[in-house]
Amino acid sequence: MDISQNQQSNQINKTDEESAQSLELKDMIQENIKQMEKFESSDSEDSEEIKDVFDERGDVYEKVQLQIEKHYQQEGKEISFDYANSDRRITSKSRFFISHLKASVVQNETPKDLKGYLQKKSPSFFRGWQDRYVTLKDHKMCYFEKEGDVDPKGVINFDLAKADVKFIDKKTFQIIIEGSERSFMFRSHEDAITEDWVNEIKRHISVAGKRPSTCILNTKSMFWRFDTISEQQFINLADTGDILLFRCKQLGSKITRTFTNSHFDHVAMVLKFETDPDEVYFVESTSNRGVSISRWTMIRKFVGDFYEQVILRHLEVERSDALIDKLEIFLKEAVGNKYGISTSKLLFQRNTVKPKKNKYIDDDRTFFCSELVAKAYKVLGIMEDDGRPSNYFYPASFSSKSTALNLTVGAHLGQEMNIAIDSVVTQQDELMLQGPRGDQHRQTL
């Protein structure tokens, strides 16, 4: 990647302010600027003169690079050199020399936030390059269809994904995620804009890479479609009433997604208890357990295997004493009821059982997963009871892409956040993994 003399001079000024030893470093960099000018003023591409310059200066540049690296290491910082491929048709020796002269120094500075329009290459041949509004902040790169959109088309979280960025040409760069077949290609109409994006992405990756992380990002899934949070962030953020959306790997789950035209096939509602703040509970209805309360620690080990993805949508609502009282009554009446899905529920979408007086639900009421969550939202006053029965709603209804939910004033479901699982396996986890497989006791049809 080419860097102008002004950009390198700015780099020198920053370095000069950092340490008294910078004068020596400044002289080293200035020496290389002179060599760059000397080379680029030459019109002869493959002449003996260029070879002589390489033979004379190439080893010196390597020594300068080592001294620069040593200088930063002494100050407890890191430095890396990015080599851009030369587009000149010259000897391999000269090309090696040019790549050194065009080295881009990326310092361990606080990364800047960026935003603006770039073009993104679609994986679809027919769509080609598309304009996207892109933001780079908090070690996350998000791209939106247009400025002002709330839900991104894609998110790359450098805290959780091991990423690298490289130039394709002067206007185009590519982000590669380790372990994923999917890469992300962007371009700008100006070299300087592309250069700025690449440098800042590198800084965000560099800072993010220094954070201790034991999270596993399932790179085989469509992880970029959602913002990603760590498991600890999930535990801290989750609260009663939040939505958990599941994408499972069972054949029946795939049929459900096809029938409902959804990315998800199961939904549950979060329960958080003050007496157990480090655990996340959720109420759900499954085909083999009926309506039950599950713990996150019991199912987390199946994420990536039985569950392809688990998504959190945080509910913004006033969790008043009245709401909690209603929830306690609802759980007492619902837990233990059987799972139930029928043609009348799916096709006719009408109430099949009417509750008795002074009860939210009857003892013989059955639920499928989204019907249970919809009923809970109605009982808690989170969703308007607009005449549509609870069995009208599918897991897809609780996705951010759906407009089916008619939430009450003051209630709002946030963006979808993919949960990355902590890779640290406890002794309890190891014992659990020796037990029944997830698909033997968890059926979410």
Domains, in order of start, for the chain? 5-105 (no CATH), 114-213 (2.30.29.30), 223-441 (3.90.1720.10)
Better-scored residue on pLDDT, 50 or 38:
38
Distances in Å between the Cα of 434 and the Cα atoms of 301, 425, 428, 438, 441 are 11, 13, 10, 11, 14
Average the pLDDT over 338-365 and give the result. Answer: 62
Write the pLDDT tens digit of every residue in 161-208: 888 999 999 999 999 988 888 889 999 999 999 999 999 999 898 887
Query: Across residues 324-331, what is the average pLDDT?
Result: 94
Supply the pTM of this predicted model: 0.59
Mean pLDDT of the chain: 75
Residue 322 has pLDDT above 80, yes or no: yes
Percent of the chain with pLDDT over 90: 36
Q: In the prediction, which pLDDT does 373 show? A: 97
What pLDDT is stored for residue 18 in this prediction?
46
Which pLDDT tens digit goes with each residue over 358-380? 677 877 788 999 999 999 999 99
Q: Rounded distance, CA 327 to CA 379, Å?
A: 8
| Residue 93: predicted pLDDT | 42
Task: Decide which of 129 and 250 is more confident.
Answer: 129
Nearby residues of 220 by Cβ (< 8 Å), 6 or more positions away: 179, 180
Name the burial class of residue 387, with classes exposed (0-12), middle (13-18) and buried (19+) by CB atoms within 10 angstroms of its CB.
Answer: exposed
182 class by beta-carbon count within 10 Å (0-12 exposed, 13-18 middle, 19+ buried) = middle
pLDDT above 60 for 40: no
Average pLDDT for residues 382-398, to the nearest whole number?
92
